[in-house]
């Protein structure tokens, strides 16, 4: 579940972080020249200057700290970001709306029997590593639901991530406050007509890789990848909050709603 509320906190100490590009560096220098800044560890709020990829990196870096992230677009798409301006930053922060979201927790067992964990804000995706289609068995909360999915892979997306890779794979857009996950196939060959499923966000998705040595599969949680996986479990981590700040009228919930109407 995701909540959108007014930011009711003191955001006096600001840290500016930027993507290592000409645009990001210039934006950071312009803001630091106008406003007093502190080290990220001492900050009340992190201002991230870049694109959506940099915003995801920043959210991962400060996951579990409780620090809100206010992004300003110095990248390309900027779906998660606010418009960039050097003016009136304290006033914008004071009235910003806070979206509280939860990441996915991915738990993996690889071909050597080793286990690993990683979190994803957008999606966990399983992808074939070779020219052959991947074959997977899908269970929900311990009950087998699909004995074999053959194709390029499958992904589990949060509402935040439903407009990213999930949407490109023709998965559904989820409202930000919908207590749901999207389970979306990637180029499904068998069953060809399967379009995926909508799941409650308390569900645990377990994916077993069939013929794993012959048809190797990698698992990706946002930008973290593990190869030659044999089993992957995915569930929403309700104990971990991420806080994104957006200007009034441009909240993440509003942006996701607009995406459904093509603007």
166 is in an annotated binding site: yes
The answer to whether 182 is annotated as binding is: no
User: Where is 70: in which H helix or E strand?
Assistant: strand 69-73
CB-based burial label for 247 (10 Å; 0-12, 13-18, 19+): middle
The DSSP result for 196-236, as a single string, is: -EEEETT--EEEEEETTTTS-EEEEETTEEE-SEEEEEEEE
How many CB atoms lie under 10 A from the CB of residue 21?
Answer: 15
Asked if residue 52 belongs to a known ligand binding site, the reply is yes
- Among candidate residues 52, 201, 222, 241, the one labeled active-site is 52
73 is annotated as contributing to ligand binding? no
The response to whether 167 counts as a known ligand-binding position is yes
**Does 78 belong to an annotated binding site?**
no
| Backbone dihedral angles phi then psi of residue 104, each to the nearest 5 degrees | -90, 145
Task: Tell whether 123 is in a known binding site.
Answer: yes
Residue 247: active-site member: no
Cβ proximity of 232 and 107 under 8 Å: yes
Does the annotation list 53 as a binding residue? yes
Cis peptide before 84, with omega less than 30 degrees from 0?
no
218 is in an annotated binding site: no
CB burial class (10 A; 0-12, 13-18, 19+) of residue 67? buried
With beta carbons less than 8 A apart as the criterion, state whether 252 and 97 touch.
no
| Residue 163 is labelled as binding a ligand | yes
Paired tokens of 160: 């935040």
253 assigned ligand-binding residue = no
**131 appears as a binding residue in the annotation:** no
Annotated binding site for NAD(+): 52-53, 122-123, 152, 160, 163-168
Annotated binding site: 52-53, 122-123, 152, 160, 163-168
**Where in the sequence numbering do the catalytic residues fall?**
52
């Amino acid at each position: 579940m995701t909540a959108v509320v007014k930011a009711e906190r003191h955001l006096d100490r600001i840290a500016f972080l930027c993507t290592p590009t000409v645009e990001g560096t210039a934006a950071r220098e312009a803001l630091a020249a106008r406003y007093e800044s502190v080290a990220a560890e001492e900050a009340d709020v992190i201002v991230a200057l870049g694109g959506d990829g940099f915003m995801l990196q920043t959210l991962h870096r400060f996951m579990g700290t409780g620090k809100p992230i206010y992004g300003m677009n110095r990248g390309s798409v900027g779906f998660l970001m606010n418009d960039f301006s050097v003016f009136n930053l304290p006033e914008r922060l004071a009235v910003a709306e806070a979206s509280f979201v939860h990441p996915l927790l991915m738990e993996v067992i690889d071909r050597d029997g080793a286990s690993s964990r990683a979190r994803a804000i957008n999606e966990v995706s399983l992808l074939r590593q070779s020219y052959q289609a991947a074959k997977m068995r899908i269970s929900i909360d311990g009950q087998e639901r699909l004995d074999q999915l053959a194709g390029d892979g499958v992904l589990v997306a949060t509402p935040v991530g439903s407009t990213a890779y999930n949407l490109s794979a023709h998965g559904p857009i989820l409202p930000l406050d919908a207590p749901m996950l999207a389970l979306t196939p990637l180029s499904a060959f068998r069953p060809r007509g399967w379009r995926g499923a909508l799941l409650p966000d308390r569900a645990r998705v377990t994916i077993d890789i069939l013929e794993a040595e012959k048809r190797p599969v990698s698992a990706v949680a946002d930008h973290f990848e593990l190869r030659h996986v044999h089993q992957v479990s995915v569930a929403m981590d309700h104990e971990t909050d991420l806080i994104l700040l957006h200007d009034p009228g441009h909240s993440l919930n509003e942006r996701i709603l607009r995406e459904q109407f093509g603007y």
